[in-house]
Chains A and B, each alone.
Chain A
Amino acid sequence: MKWIKIRLERVYEAPIWLQIFVAIFSLAVALMIAAFIFLAHGIDPVSAYAKIFHDSFLTEHGIEFSIVKLIPLLLCSLGLIVAFKANVWNIGAEGQLLMGSVAATWIALYGMKGYPSWLIIPSMYLLGFLAGALWAFIPAILKAKFEVNEIIATLMMNYIAMKIVEFLIYGPWRGATTWRYPITDEFPIEARLPLIPGTSIHWPTLLISLALVPLVYLLLKETKIGYEINVYGLNPEAARYAGINKTKVLAFVMIISGGLAGLAGVGEVAGIHHRLRYPWTISCGYGYTAIITAWLARLNPLVLLPVTFFFGGLLVGGDVIRIDLQLPISVVYLFNGLILLSLVSSELILRYRIKVTLVGGAGR
């Protein structure tokens, strides 16, 4: 008697063509499901998709804002990739980003008031990096020395960072020219990042984030510390036997991770808002979205670039749905949720192979 046996087999590295094919396939599935939502609202899905795609990726406005959103997502995700490679779950990019904005605000309004811009702007990036790094370093040390779970610690640090921002805008940093509203004064012109003319893209931060893509790739692939990160991430016990210093790895990945998120925070306040304001308006959940983009890129910095651009486009595409197509915002949430869900579920196809075998049975 013969049995058909179906089982899932773990695959470690799916070939690249399969990865691309599966990504496109899962997008198509999501779009097919979402088509019903559009049909239910009496809108032809094909022309709706054409409009969303066209406006998000082919118009000046779409590309502009996709890039504006790409900048913080790319910086945060790059940092998170370094941490996730070491199997360190940094959920705190959101708070690290905010601390970067706090540092930049301090330089712009207090620390370096009256200095020329060529001094202020590099200092903002450096101090922003340090502030984000410090915010991530605390949970790193707690984990290294006291085995405190970094997921909880980094998450909680987000709330503390938000409260610090709120404290500053309601308290000591409340603007003198803002009619007692809870925002700081505007940054002086010297402390504002230059924009690509006619757009909202602050190009120095874009440049930094783009330059960091190959750097992080090389860091993880070619350096000793990169190797240690990988080994530690795969098996901390083995790493210990190999003489890899756990505290050093933890501290390094969290400093890079937090620092890059801090740079994103500098970009947001110095490039876009020009003042410190309600924390959510600054961070917009980039620190959390960056977790998703990092994993969708399979922790590969080179893949991350198109992924974050796509995500930026997705965020802009929501405006097409709710303004041009005049559909309720819940459709935006559904649309984005469906795309995410199917991309994440496609992991199953990539990580596992369905194996069907005929088993010669000895009878039962």
Chain B
Amino acid sequence: MASPKGALFTALVAIICIIAGLGGGWFIAWNQARGEVEALRAQVAELSKRLAAVEAKPPEVAPAEKIKAAWIYVGPVEDYGWTYGHDRGRRYVAEVFKDWLETYAVPKVSGAECLQVIDKLVAEGYKVIFATSFDFMDATYKAAEKYPDVIFFHCSGYLRRQNMGTYFAEFYQLYYLNGLIAGALTKTGHIGYVAAHPTPEVIRHINAFALGVKEVNPEAKVYVLWIHAWYDPTKARELAETLINKYSCDVLAFTEDTPTVVEVCQEYYEKGRPVYAFAHYSPMLKYGPDVCVSGQLVHWEVIYADILMKIKLGIYTNTNLENVDYWWMLREGAVELGCDYGVPINPKFIPVLKNIIVEKEIMLPNGTVVKNPSVYDLVFIRLAQMMEESPTFDPFTGPIYDQQGNLRVPPGERLGHDALWTMDWFVDNVVGEIPKGGGA
């Protein structure tokens, strides 16, 4: 700066930064050294405590009291997607376990607010906390360290601790089944996918869907466009219309937290141009009675009931959760095939699907061989196979090639949990790119 005082000011700012930084650095070093001493001290204290415990009498059993459980949501309860599904699960357990369970939900919490919200909840006496957004992972972990007596469960993350477990209801089996139907229904051979964020979860769902398409219709392609948001009905509508008009797609699947894509398809149907769609997370038949064929529905309550029951029975405590990771699918009943609860396939489409034959032979586990089943039968055969105690079918069974023609899964092999969790490639009948950057 030209003026000396301006320069002086800039210099002062710099000096303050440096002093604060040096102070901070010194503090960390000092803290680390102190930390080691503290650790030793804690060890000694722990050992003497154990010694005392051996000598003391066993503790008396506390009288049964209500368990207070709180849910933290990222969105509004009315989103009819992700948060709605979790709240439906909460209301279910609140009703079923009302004798011993008290629940409360805090909606619209951002990742930055999560820790202070947990502080408040713990102060209010909540002993079990469900954090239902990936963005809450770090804050939940910090809170779990801070409150070792409280049990935490984080949905969709990977950090675990002795008092923090993780859970997720996984949809890929259903996306595969939807893919079978989509491949049968398409006339143009072009199927669209309106996708949210390019995360491994969404990529895995697109791939499962495309593998289903391929099984009944090897020529068909799946065209993918990205919204770059979990919730953006405007952009979802725009991309759905682009897929219909520019890519001549006549079946659409999607990952977005509203029924928008189903609504768009219903509008096109009423204009005399049928485009079919699948429900996502919540029943969407009523938004597209003529176009919503099937879909994937979630039953978080199955997972919540299991977790809370095990906490009540003392199976889960604040010291044994470091390996508790729910990755629940069809077999456990955490997810359901359907455009509405109890409606796996919209009755309007059953005759059509029964008329389309898939040329292949399927060996059932009991030894019977089904020859050239209809698509309708194929869907239910696969559904039954994937619901078995140890599923006799999985969509991600080799040989599977990626878009570049590389063999990703050797013949006969199945992809495991870790490979599915980190998936960053598309199967060969997907058209579209996985963006390297997030910007739209």
Q: Which A residues are within 8 Å of any B CB, using their own CB? A: 61, 65, 68, 116-126, 129, 163-164, 166-172, 178-182, 189-190, 192-194, 200, 203-205, 207-208, 211-212, 215, 219, 222-226, 228, 245, 248, 252, 259, 263, 272-275, 277-278, 280-282, 284, 316, 319-320, 322-324, 326, 329
Contact = CB atoms under 8 A, between A and B. Distances in A.
The B interface, classified by DSSP as helix, strand, loop or mixed, is helix
A130 to B, nearest CB: 10
Contact of A189 (B26, B28, B199, B423): B28
B120 A180 contact: no
B437 A166 contact: yes
A200 B117 CA distance: 13
A125 B20 CA distance: 9
B111 A125 contact: no
A224 B107 contact: no
Contact of A122 (B17, B104, B121): B17
Contacts of B422: 179-180
B61 interface: no
B24 A126 contact: no
Nearest to A248: B2
Given A129-B13, A326-B104, A282 B1 contact: no
6 contacts: A61-B116, A118-B22, A182-B199, A215-B13, A223-B3, A228-B3
Contact of B106 (A170, A273, A323): A323
Nearest to A205: B20
A210 to B, nearest CB: 10
A196 to B, nearest CB: 10
A209 to B, nearest CB: 10
B160 to A, nearest CB: 12
The listed residue with most B CB atoms (<10 A of its CB), out of A116, A259, A281, A323, is A323
B385 interface: no
B109 to A, nearest CB: 9
B237 to A, nearest CB: 21
A118 B25 contact: yes
A225 B9 CA distance: 10
Interface residues of B, number: 60
Interface in B21-46: 21-29, 31-32
Contacts of A65: 116, 119
Contacts of A322: 106
B6 A126 contact: no
B6 A166 contact: no
Contact of A280 (B24, B110, B134, B423): B110
Contacts of A203: 24
A135 B186 CA distance: 50
Contacts of B31: 194
A169 B439 CA distance: 10
B57 interface: no
Contact of A204 (B2, B20, B104, B421): B20
Contacts of B124: 323-324
A211 B16 contact: yes
B384 interface: no
Nearest to B17: A125
A260 B138 CA distance: 26
Given A121-B24, A323-B120, A224 B112 contact: no
Contacts of A275: 138
A126 B21 CA distance: 10
B116 A225 contact: no
Contacts of A224: 3, 5-6
B21 A125 contact: yes
